[in-house]
Structure 1
Amino acid sequence: MTSSHDHPDSAHLRPDGLDDATVAALGKLSEALETVEHARGLLYGFHRLTGAADLALGEAVDAFREAGRDELADSLEKELVGRNVIEGRWTFQIVEDYDDGYYAAFRDQERAARDELAAGRRHLFESEMKEDRRSHGLRHHESRPDPE
């Protein structure tokens, strides 16, 4: 099978003159960004789970009150409901600080490196790896989707 989708599109071909070492370095930088993206997702999970725990805690406080355990309910409400998870911050503030600081700087630097060295092209290392590893000409081993 030889077709227009049995080779990478131009967005995934290395620009002329871009050497193997630079493609590999850009690939490693991309891998690092993907790890940061994963960490960011876990941070959002922490944010959501902590929020869900605080809401469930509020329900537990109400249940203790209904059970006549006002002293325990008061203690839980005073000490834990709405408490900062770290000094001065709820989880949304941690997420915002991460997004606006480290995450934004990392994305900007990765994009700047790609723009400077590879005409902004993404995943060149992976695209070349795919071309090396796939069985050319076989169904389900196409380089990209059929353009239809």
Structure 2
Amino acid sequence: MTDQQIPNPPDHARPERATDEQVAAAGKLSEALETVERARGRLYDFHQLIGHADLMLDEAVQKLREAGRDDIAEQVEKELVGRNVLHGRWMFQIVEDFDDHYWSTFRSCEATVRGELCGGRRHVFESEMKEARRTHGHPRHEARP
């Protein structure tokens, strides 16, 4: 079988009933989810950075005490160590709320739309883009592994 005869893998092939508009809409929603996934990663980065900074405050307080500035050490300890990032919340609570009430809903909605429009197949739009952009018969431009 030549490279030109190899169809898109079944898990990326467009279902017969899917229109160009439906594939594009599902693709755009999937792209939006990918952006939310990137934002989620940054939220987890923020979570860990804030946690690390909070632990570093212990060392700063100790150094202030060693420098003879118990007054400032007590102020930093009282005002910053263990402080909520948002009203009533540490970062783990913010991450959990994001995951439970936004991210999980977004993922579910994207899966439902993809299921309805593309038979549950992922990256149909991108698979068709790959097929249109690759150089058929050229090394490293194969349709699939």
Q: 1:6·1:137 contact (CA, 8 Å) conserved in 2?
A: no
Alpha-carbon distance between aligned partners in 2 of 1:139 and 1:51, rounded to the nearest angstrom: 48
TM-score when normalising by structure 1: 0.92
Residue equivalent to 1:113 = 113
> Which amino acid in structure 2 is aligned with residue 101 of structure 1?
H
Contact 1:6 1:142 in 2 (8 A): no
- Supply the AA of the counterpart residue of 2:111: R
Q: CA deviation at 1:143?
A: 2.1
Aligned 8 A contact 1:5 1:142 in 2? no
Give the AA of the match of 2:132: D
Structure 2 counterpart of 1:56: 56
Q: Give the paired residue count.
A: 145
Aligned-residue sequence identity (percent) comes to 61
Find the aligned partners of 1:12 and 1:57 in 2 and give their Cα distance. Answer: 50
Q: CA deviation at 1:104?
A: 0.7
**Residue of structure 2 equivalent to 1:75:** 75
Q: Quick one: higher RCO (CA 8 Å, sep 6+), 1 or 2? A: 1
CA distance in 1, matches of 2:48, 2:136: 44
CA separation in 2, counterparts of 1:131 and 1:96? Answer: 40
Unaligned runs of 5+ in 2: none
Q: CA RMSD in A?
A: 1.8
CA–CA separation in structure 1 for the residues paired with 2:18 and 2:75: 64
Please, which runs of 5 or more residues in structure 1 have no aligned partner?
Answer: none
Q: TM-score, normalised by structure 2?
A: 0.94
